[in-house]
């Protein structure tokens, strides 16, 4: 090699090094250009690299091929090189020379070798980077993950283009059920297709990431919001590869539109707003999209305050049992009572709706429920000891208890420690939403049943009442929610009247006692009678009463039924 060529060679080598350390997106193009020049200089007509993720991929010849340079001449292989990296990926490099070209001189060979080695190193390092990127920013199923979301937010914040964008957090609805229905495989395909729909609506500029299971977050330009929400409200989604079978997929969504003065510091600046919204969307009945507003911050403060006050308040005995009588409308007798919680805080009575949903956000509610059961047991024991009239008392247990595998033992321990005969206790449980909960519920009710403790389905008809719930679980009592109870101006043909009639008839056929909740008028008592529902609870008879008043009531014992002529 003459001096001029040698100089050229070193200049190109320097360029090659630059290209290899270049971080810009078109560095591969730059690299190819330098390699082409080097090839020409070293009389190489074609250079090819191949990359295999593992020796197994190599054996099956499944790899990526990059042609770095090709003069187009008819060529034969001149040199080959193969390297195996420490992570066991394999890379090959082949260089060709045009037919008839004299063979490489020794010093040329050395130079070609050096370039081949550098190129292979570069390729494997580059692939490794890709791989690390995939591991960091994508989950196992190939969805972008929370890390990607954070990167998106911080990049846009740095560019000043984040404020005004819409962010959402969403949970696919009933996806466990969907998986059961169409199989795991179908579920995966449906999720992917649904994701693709949302990603399309979000557009090139936005991002959709999976944060686990069936939960996702997304961020996108504000003008895309309606298109995205449209899909989240529900979209028929294919769940087979042939694209023929479809299932409706929808989501519970929290929405937070980043205000103009929004400052992004950490991920929680966004998530702390989104998560309570999507939780509210999931738990709150009809509304499946909840948009963040500033009042929610106030709500959150209230929540935190209650959570802070709770332990001390429980210890101080601020939670009292109020008893609401249950009446046999044929005789007017009190046949039972429901224990309802009241928080006496600074001489004010706080109603349960203000604190129970808050306590249900963690397991505080369980402590409260056990406290209520304990207090009720103590009252019953005292009535028995004083030779007073005693009725069965029902205690409400939150669904949160279903996670507690020792629930049954806990309940029995409280009752037995207080030496209360089991027939005086009834446990009220509400309907469940998921299948897992259903199994737990069934186990708990069966256990209570065996221990001789009454069980009732509370608020029947409110939520996700299913026939399965009352057919497969051996309840004693069905408490028909007041939303099922006809009101005075309902005709007998109204949906409410008809539903009420059939629910009561069905419960009777299944051997369940029925009690109507929220009875407020004489008229409703007549309706109960006509439908042979003989038990009632409601303001017409009594509000939930503090202990002493309830004891007075028990003494008096009987209500004068106005329509006793029946």
> Which x/- pattern over 475-514 shows residues binding ligand C2E (rule: CB under 6 A)?
----------------------------------------
546 near ligand C2E, rule: CB under 6 A: no
Can you state the percent helix, strand and coil of the chain, rounding each to 5?
A: 50, 25, 30
List 119, 165, 237, 398, residue binding ligand C2E (CB under 6 A):
398
CB of residue 441 vs ligand C2E: minimum separation in angstroms?
A: 14
Buried b (16+ CB within 10 A) or exposed e, 360-377: beeebbbebbbbbbbbbb
Residues in the chain: 566
List 189, 518, 545, 553, residue binding ligand C2E (CB under 6 A):
518
- Which stretch of DSSP H or E encloses residue 536? strand 535-537
d(CA 365, CA 42): 79
379 near Mg ion, rule: CB under 5 A: no
Q: Is 431 exposed, middle or buried (0-12, 13-18, 19+ CB in 10 A)?
A: buried
Please say whether the beta carbons of 194 and 249 come within 8 A: yes
Please say whether the beta carbons of 534 and 330 come within 8 A: yes
**Which region, judged by CB under 6 A, interacts with ligand C2E, from 395-403, 411-419, 467-475, 545-553?**
395-403
User: Of the two residues 216 and 424, which places its CB atom closer to Mg ion in the complex?
Assistant: 424
For 514, phi then psi, to 5°, come to: -120, 140
> Which x/- pattern over 432-461 shows residues binding ligand C2E (rule: CB under 6 A)?
--------------------------xx--
d(CA 364, CA 244): 48
User: Of the two residues 165 and 514, which places its CB atom closer to ligand C2E in the complex?
Assistant: 514
**Which region, judged by CB under 6 A, interacts with ligand C2E, from 29-37, 57-65, 152-160, 518-526?**
518-526
Buried b (16+ CB within 10 A) or exposed e, 437-472: ebebbeebbebbeeeebbbbbbbbbbeebeeebbee
369 near Mg ion, rule: CB under 5 A: no
Cα-only R_g, the chain: 36
List 3, 72, 353, 385, residue binding ligand C2E (CB under 6 A):
353
* Residue 548 CA, distance from chain mean position: 45
365 near ligand C2E, rule: CB under 6 A: yes
* Residue 303 CA, distance from chain mean position: 21
325 near ligand C2E, rule: CB under 6 A: no
CB of residue 333 vs ligand C2E: minimum separation in angstroms?
A: 18
372 near ligand C2E, rule: CB under 6 A: yes
**Which region, judged by CB under 5 A, interacts with Mg ion, from 123-131, 392-400, 435-443, 505-513?**
392-400
User: Of the two residues 108 and 428, which places its CB atom closer to Mg ion in the complex?
Assistant: 428
CB of residue 310 vs Mg ion: minimum separation in angstroms?
A: 21
List 340, 377, 414, 536, residue binding ligand C2E (CB under 6 A):
340
Q: Is 8 exposed, middle or buried (0-12, 13-18, 19+ CB in 10 A)?
A: middle
What part of residues 227-256 is at the interface with ligand C2E (CB under 6 A)? none
CA distances to 170, 211, 295, 561 from 291, in Å: 12, 20, 11, 49
d(CA 177, CA 167): 27
List 364, 426, 428, 431, residue binding Mg ion (CB under 5 A):
428
User: Of the two residues 93 and 339, which places its CB atom closer to ligand C2E in the complex?
Assistant: 339
Binding site for ligand C2E (CB under 6 A): 324, 340-341, 351-353, 356, 365, 369, 372, 396-398, 428, 458-459, 517-520, 537-539, 544
Binding site for Mg ion (CB under 5 A): 396, 428, 458-459, 517
């Amino acid at each position: 090699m003459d001096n001029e060529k040698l100089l050229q060679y070193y200049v190109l080598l320097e360029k090659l090094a630059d290209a290899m350390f270049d971080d810009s997106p078109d560095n591969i193009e730059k690299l190819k250009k330098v390699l082409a020049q080097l090839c020409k200089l070293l009389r190489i007509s074609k250079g090819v690299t191949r990359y295999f993720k593992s020796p197994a991929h190599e054996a099956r010849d499944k790899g990526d091929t990059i042609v770095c340079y090709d003069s187009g001449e008819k060529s034969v292989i001149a040199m080959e090189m193969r390297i195996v990296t420490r992570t066991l990926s394999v890379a090959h490099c082949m260089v060709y020379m045009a037919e008839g070209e004299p063979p490489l001189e020794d010093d040329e060979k050395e130079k070609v070798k050096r370039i081949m080695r550098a190129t292979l190193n570069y390729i494997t390092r580059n692939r490794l980077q890709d791989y690390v990127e995939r591991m960091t920013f994508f989950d196992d199923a190939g969805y972008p993950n929370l890390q990607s979301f954070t990167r998106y937010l911080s990049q846009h914040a740095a560019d000043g283009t984040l404020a005004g964008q819409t962010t959402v957090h969403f949970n696919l609805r009933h996806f466990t059920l969907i998986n059961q229905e169409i199989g795991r495989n179908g579920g995966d395909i449906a999720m992917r297709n649904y994701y693709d729909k949302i990603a399309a609506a979000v557009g090139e500029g936005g991002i959709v990431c999976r944060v686990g299971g069936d939960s996702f977050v997304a961020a996108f330009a504000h003008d895309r919001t309606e298109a995205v929400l449209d899909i989240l409200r529900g979209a028929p989604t294919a769940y087979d590869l042939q694209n023929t079978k479809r299932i409706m997929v929808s989501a519970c969504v929290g929405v937070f539109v980043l205000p103009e003065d929004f400052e992004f510091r950490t991920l929680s600046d966004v998530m702390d707003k989104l998560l309570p919204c999507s939780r509210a969307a999931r738990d709150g009945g009809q509304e499946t999209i909840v948009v963040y507003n500033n009042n929610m911050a106030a709500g959150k403060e209230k929540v935190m305050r209650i959570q802070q006050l709770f332990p001390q308040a429980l210890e101080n005995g601020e939670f009292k049992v109020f008893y609401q009588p249950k009446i046999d409308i044929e005789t007017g007798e009190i046949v039972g009572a429901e224990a309802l919680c009241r928080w006496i805080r600074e001489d004010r009575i706080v109603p349960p709706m203000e604190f129970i949903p808050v306590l249900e956000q963690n397991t505080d509610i369980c402590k409260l429920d056990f406290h209520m059961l304990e207090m009720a047991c103590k009252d019953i024991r005292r009535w028995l000891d004083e030779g007073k009239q005693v009725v069965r008392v029902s205690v409400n247990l939150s669904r949160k208890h279903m996670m507690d595998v020792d629930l049954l033992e806990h309940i029995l321990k409280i009752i037995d420690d207080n030496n209360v005969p089991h027939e005086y206790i009834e446990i009220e449980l509400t309907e469940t939403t998921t299948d897992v909960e259903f199994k737990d519920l069934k186990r708990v009710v069966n256990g209570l049943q065996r221990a001789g403790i009454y069980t009732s389905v509370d608020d029947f008809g409110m939520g996700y009442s299913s026939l399965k719930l009352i057919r497969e679980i051996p309840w004693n009592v069905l408490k028909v929610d007041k939303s099922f109870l006809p009101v005075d101006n309902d005709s007998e043909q109204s949906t409410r009247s008809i539903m009420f009639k059939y629910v009561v008839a069905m419960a009777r056929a299944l051997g369940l006692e029925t009690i109507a909740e929220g009875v407020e008028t004489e008229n409703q008592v007549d309706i109960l009678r006509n439908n042979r529902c003989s038990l009632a609870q409601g303001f017409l008879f009594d509000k939930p009463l503090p202990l002493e008043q309830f004891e007075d009531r028990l003494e008096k014992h009987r209500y004068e039924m106005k329509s006793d002529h029946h």
